[in-house]
C-alpha cells in the first residue's frame, strides 16, 4: 500500500499588492511544488518566496486532497517585529488573526471540469431557469466538485455523494436546504452533462425544517417606513409591503405594469415563471405617482444610478437595514419579512386564504396556510380551557 507523505503547511494572512492573501510556507519539496503549479487560483510570490491565494477567492481545504500527500495546516500570526513592506507596492503587511481552515476554500477545478460546469449553466439558461436558481446550482456544484478536485468525473459515484454529505455538510453543520441544493445540482449535472444517472434516491435527503415566517406588527412596519425620508426608498419598501412582493418582483416592475386607473399591479414572471395581478390601494397608488413624477424612470419603475437599469438588490437591503436601525427595531429584519407581514395582516383583516394565495402567487394552499400559525389576532381569540375550570 502506498504511503502518503506527511507535510505541514504554515499559513499566514498578509496584505499583498492591495489584497488580503493567505500565504503557504513549507519545507522545500519539488514534487509538492509541481503539484501546486497545477492548481488554478494559486500564485507564487517572488517577494515572499511562497505560494499564496487571495482571501476573497474560495480556496484551500481541497489541498487536503493533493494526491500522495497528507497535508496538515498550522495557522500562525506574523510577529510584530517581523512586519515588512511589499517590495513592489511599499504597502506594509499586517498580521491579522486567522479564521479556521474550514472557512478558507479554494477553487481548484481543472479546465475540463470548469468547462462542464459551464455546459450545465448554458443548459439551464436555455431551459429558462431563473438566474437565482442557476447561481445556486452553480455554487453548490462547484463546492461538490472542488471536494473531489483530484478525482476524475467518471469515477465519482453515489458513495462519493454520501461521503460529501457526512464529511463536508454534516461536519460543517450546514443546513438541510443547502444539502438538498447540492443533491439537486449534482443530479442535474450528471444527467444533463455526463449523460449518466447517479442513484440519488439512495442518498438520504434531510427533512425540511418547518420554520414559521418572521412577521412584523403593523406598528413596526409603520416605524420602518416612517424612518425613510428619501422618496424612492420609501416608495420601494412601501410597495413591497403594500402588495406582498418579492424583492426580485419589485425590481423587475416596469411602468406599463401599473394600472392605476383600475387599481391593479401586474407582476410578470414571478417565482415559478407565473404572471399574477395584485390589488393596489389608493394610498400606495398616490405614493408611486408622486415618485414617478419626481424621478421619471425610463425602463424600470425603480432604477439605479444608471438610467434604464434596475435598482440593485443589495443596495435595497442596505436601505432597509438603515431604516430598521433608525426605527429602533432590534430584529434582523429582511425584505421578505415585509411580504410575510403583508400576508399575515391580510389574514388578520379577514381576507380569505384563497385570495391571499392568489395575491402571493403560491402554487399550493398549504404554503399560504402557514400564516394561520403566526396570526396573533387569531391566536388571541382562542380561549384556554384552563380559564373555564
Catalytic residue IDs: 246, 271, 336, 339, 362, 371
The rounded distance, in Å, linking the Cα atoms of 374 and 210 is 13
Task: Concatenate the DSSP letters of all residues of 335-385 into one string.
Answer: HHHHHHHHHHHHHHTT--HHHHHHHHT-SSHHHHHGGGGT-HHHHHTPPPG
Q: E strands along the chain, which residues?
A: 5-16, 19-25, 43-45, 50-54, 69-75, 258-259, 264-267, 276-279
Cell of 211: 420554520
Ramachandran quadrant class, 304 (left: phi over 0; alpha: psi -120 to 50; beta: rest): beta
Query: Where do we find the cell 430598521?
Result: 324
HSE, CB side, 13 Å, CA atoms: give it for residue 366. Answer: 2
Phi-psi region of 17 (alpha: psi -120 to 50; beta: other; left: phi over 0): left
Round to whole Å and give the CA distance between 351 and 334. 24
CA end-to-end span of the chain: 76
176's enclosing H/E stretch is helix 176-192
Distance CA 107, CA 145 (A): 9
DSSP-derived secondary structure letter, 201? G
Query: What is the distance between the alpha carbons of residues 125 and 128, in angstroms, rounded to a whole number?
Result: 5
Longest CA span, the chain: 83
- 3-state percent helix, strand, coil for the chain, nearest multiple of 5: 50, 10, 40
DSSP 310: B
Cβ neighbors of 240 (< 8 A, separation 6 or more) are 247, 250, 335, 338, 339, 342
Amino acid at each position: 500500500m502506498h504511503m502518503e507523505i506527511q507535510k505541514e503547511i504554515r499559513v499566514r494572512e498578509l496584505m499583498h499588492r492591495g489584497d488580503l492573501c493567505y500565504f503557504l510556507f513549507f519545507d522545500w519539496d519539488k514534487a509538492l511544488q509541481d503539484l501546486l503549479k497545477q492548481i488554478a487560483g494559486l500564485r507564487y510570490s517572488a517577494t515572499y518566496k511562497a505560494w499564496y491565494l487571495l482571501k476573497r477567492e474560495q480556496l484551500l481545504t481541497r489541498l487536503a486532497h493533493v494526491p500522495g500527500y497528507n497535508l496538515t495546516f498550522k495557522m500562525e500570526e506574523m510577529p510584530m517585529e517581523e512586519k515588512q513592506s511589499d517590495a513592489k507596492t511599499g504597502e506594509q503587511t499586517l498580521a491579522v488573526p486567522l479564521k479556521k481552515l474550514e472557512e478558507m476554500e479554494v477553487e481548484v477545478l481543472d479546465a475540463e471540469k470548469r468547462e462542464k460546469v459551464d455546459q450545465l449553466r448554458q443548459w439551464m439558461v436555455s431551459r429558462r431557469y431563473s438566474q437565482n436558481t442557476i447561481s445556486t446550482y452553480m455554487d453548490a456544484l462547484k463546492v461538490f466538485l472542488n471536494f473531489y478536485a483530484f478525482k476524475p468525473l467518471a469515477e465519482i459515484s453515489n458513495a462519493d455523494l454520501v461521503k460529501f454529505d457526512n464529511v463536508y455538510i454534516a461536519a460543517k453543520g450546514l443546513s438541510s436546504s443547502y444539502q438538498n441544493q447540492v443533491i439537486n445540482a449534482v443530479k442535474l449535472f450528471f444527467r444533463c452533462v455526463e449523460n449518466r444517472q447517479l442513484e440519488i434516491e439512495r442518498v438520504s435527503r434531510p427533512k425540511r425544517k418547518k420554520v414559521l415566517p418572521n412577521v412584523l406588527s403593523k406598528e413596526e412596519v409603520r416605524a420602518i417606513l416612517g424612518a425613510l425620508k428619501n422618496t424612492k426608498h420609501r416608495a420601494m419598501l412601501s410597495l413591497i409591503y403594500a402588495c406582498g412582493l418579492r424583492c426580485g418582483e419589485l425590481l423587475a416592475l416596469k411602468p406599463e405594469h401599473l394600472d392605476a386607473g383600475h387599481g391593479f399591479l401586474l407582476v410578470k414572471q414571478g417565482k415559478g415563471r407565473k404572471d399574477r395581478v395584485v390589488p393596489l390601494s389608493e394610498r400606495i397608488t398616490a405614493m408611486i405617482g408622486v415618485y414617478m413624477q419626481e424621478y421619471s424612470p425610463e425602463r424600470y419603475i425603480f432604477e439605479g444610478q444608471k438610467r434604464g437599469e434596475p435598482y440593485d438588490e443589495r443596495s435595497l437591503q442596505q436601505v432597509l437595514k438603515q431604516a430598521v436601525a433608525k426605527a429602533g427595531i432590534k430584529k434582523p429584519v429582511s425584505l421578505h419579512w415585509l411580504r410575510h407581514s403583508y400576508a399575515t395582516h391580510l389574514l388578520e383583516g379577514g381576507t380569505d386564504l384563497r385570495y391571499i394565495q392568489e395575491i402571493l402567487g403560491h402554487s399550493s394552499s398549504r404554503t399560504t396556510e402557514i400564516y394561520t400559525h403566526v396570526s396573533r389576532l387569531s391566536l388571541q381569540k382562542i380561549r384556554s380551557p384552563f380559564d373555564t375550570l
